[in-house]
């Protein structure tokens, strides 16, 4: 969603711990990957989401923060 001079994406990743979550940007898109590994080294939960940044955003301004409630907030400045 666009808010003033920023674009913001909010994703619920509350079922994952912070070290389990990886956010990357490449070629105008943001990718979120999370993987929960059990004690026996098996993968017990995964999450993947990919979205394109709007054309009027600065791809170098992308940042993210994880709230205490487990919401991942990704923000990018609009040009």
Q: Which tens digits make up the pLDDT trace of 52-76?
A: 988 888 888 999 999 999 999 999 9
27: closest CA among 1, 51, 9? 51
Supply 23's token pair: 């956010």
12-51: pLDDT as tens digits: 999 999 999 999 999 889 999 999 988 898 998 999 999 9
| Domains along the chain with CATH numbers | 6-78 (2.60.40.790)
16: closest CA among 55, 70, 67? 70
């Amino acid at each position: 969603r666009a808010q003033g001079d920023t674009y913001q994406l909010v994703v619920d990743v509350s079922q994952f711990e912070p070290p389990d979550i990886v956010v990357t940007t490449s070629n105008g898109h943001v990718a979120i990957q999370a993987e929960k590994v059990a004690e026996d080294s098996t993968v017990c939960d995964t999450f993947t989401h990919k979205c394109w940044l709007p054309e009027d955003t600065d791809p170098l301004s992308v940042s993210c923060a994880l709230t205490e409630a487990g919401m991942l907030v990704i923000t990018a400045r609009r040009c």
